[in-house]
Amino acid sequence: MRNPLSQTIVSIKPSGIRKFFDIASERADAISLGVGEPDFDTPWHIRDEGIYSLEKGRTFYTSNSGLMELRNEICNYYRRRFGVSYDPKTETIITVGGSEAIDIAIRAMIDPQDEVIVPQPSYVSYEPCAILAGAKPVIIELKNEDEFRLTAEELEEAITDKTKILVLPFPNNPTGAIMEKEDLEKIAKICIEKDIFVLSDEIYAELSYKGDHVSIASIPGMKERTIVINGFSKAYAMTGWRLGYAMGPAEIITQMTKIHQFAIMCAPTTSQYAAVEALKNGDEDVKKMRTSYNQRRNFLMNAFKEMNLPCFEPFGAFYVFPDIREFGMTSEEFAFAFLDAQNVAVVPGTAFGSSGEGFLRISYAYSLERLKIAMGRLVEFVEELRKRG
């Protein structure tokens, strides 16, 4: 029989987080700090609106781009929160999570041999999506000393004649890094000069702890070359509803909609009705959750300080990215040894790219009580390692 498989997909490695979790999940009593989704339930009024839409029999497809009412609310929201205006009719599409938006945006813009710049450590799907679209991913290894921000120098060095897209994943998973206005302005200048497009993944925008998130699309000259990606999973604790969106120049959104209509048809209708409620009346919920995450972030930063574990202060998402290089172990070795000795699961930084070597991703989408226990165990583990020298 012929090989039934595509060589492209076979050559892509499965996500590195998976391997680790398979092992951690076999230990029933392990404390996990590995999950990348909110520990809150979706606020009740949002769930209620979803239930109501089912009761009313709204079980049909929506238009391919999504409910007009939802697109309107999304555009209002981006104008209100981040000062960027989009046309809900032609410049907005509702997708199945931010992850679909990433995929179709890259596919809509890439021809074979084009290059996509992916700063790492970052969310694991940019690189495979680029490869599946036939592009060549070009990795920028972000550095701890820059607080894992993308610098203009790094970007300039990575650009070639073939560069088409820069992926801008901030606030960042797994590092928690953010890009402030001044950082973005330098990046924007280069993108305009070199005529490259930006895929700005702003899924963690609401989880910013040093002033409001700044979208690169709000910088003059950038809106016409930026696809903004966001969604409801992180801000409203709606991961299971699978709802995201993309906004950008009409000509790109039109082509994205084409892929979306062939592959997906439309995003789940129930989720779209619930999301309208989230945007209309969810500001207080977002604020409450952000406050709670920020308290946990403060708690962890203080715990690292007390155990003398270096960690730059991350101002976004719900991850911290401590530096474990002093112990002379790889991230994976450290994570497995920690799981073995103390029964706590954290994710090795290398799951998010080789530049994550020497770091761990610790999620604080967990209760303060759980974080307290886990940090107590980390102190013991770290002290034991240091004693052994």
Partner 1 sequence: MREEILNFIEKNSRIDLKEVAVCLGMTEIDVANELAAMESEGIICGYHTLIDWDKVTQERIHALIEVKVSPQRGKGFDEIAERIYKYPEVQSTYLISGGFDLLVFMEGKTLREISSFVSQKLSTLDSVLSTTTHFVLKKYKDHGIVLNSKNEDERMIMTP
Q: Does 131 bind partner 1 (CB under 8 A)?
A: no
- Who's near 231: CB < 8 A, 6+ residues apart? 95, 97, 98, 101, 203, 243, 244, 245
Taking the complex as a whole, the smallest distance from the CB of residue 16 to partner 1 amounts, in Å, to 8
Q: Which of residues 218-277 bind partner 1 (CB under 8 A)?
A: none
Torsions phi, psi for 219 (to 5 deg): -85, 130
Which CB atom, from 35 or from 190, has the smaller least distance to partner 1? Answer: 35
Q: Does 17 bind partner 1 (CB under 8 A)?
A: yes
Which CB atom, from 63 or from 367, has the smaller least distance to partner 1? Answer: 367
Number of residues lying near partner 1 (CB under 8 A): 22
Taking the complex as a whole, the smallest distance from the CB of residue 30 to partner 1 amounts, in Å, to 12
Q: Which of residues 282-321 bind partner 1 (CB under 8 A)?
A: 291, 295-296, 298-299, 302
Is the separation of the CB atoms in 261 and 54 below 8 Å? no
| Contact pattern from residue 360 through residue 389 relative to partner 1, giving x for each residue in contact according to CB under 8 A and a dash for the rest | --------x---------------------
Secondary structure (DSSP) of 174-190: TT-----HHHHHHHHHH
Taking the complex as a whole, the smallest distance from the CB of residue 295 to partner 1 amounts, in Å, to 4
Tell which residue, 169, 225, 168, has the closest CA to residue 194. Answer: 225
Could you give the CA distance from residue 140 to residue 158 in angstroms, rounded to a whole number? 7
Is the separation of the CB atoms in 213 and 168 below 8 Å? no
Kindly tell me which residue out of 30, 37, 264, 373 binds partner 1, with binding defined by CB under 8 A: 37
DSSP state of 43: P
Could you give the CA distance from residue 174 to residue 360 in angstroms, rounded to a whole number? 9
Two structure tokens written together for 13: 């490695």
Kindly tell me which residue out of 9, 12, 18, 211 binds partner 1, with binding defined by CB under 8 A: 18
Residues that bind partner 1 (CB under 8 A): 14-15, 17-18, 21-22, 25, 32, 35-37, 39, 123-125, 291, 295-296, 298-299, 302, 368
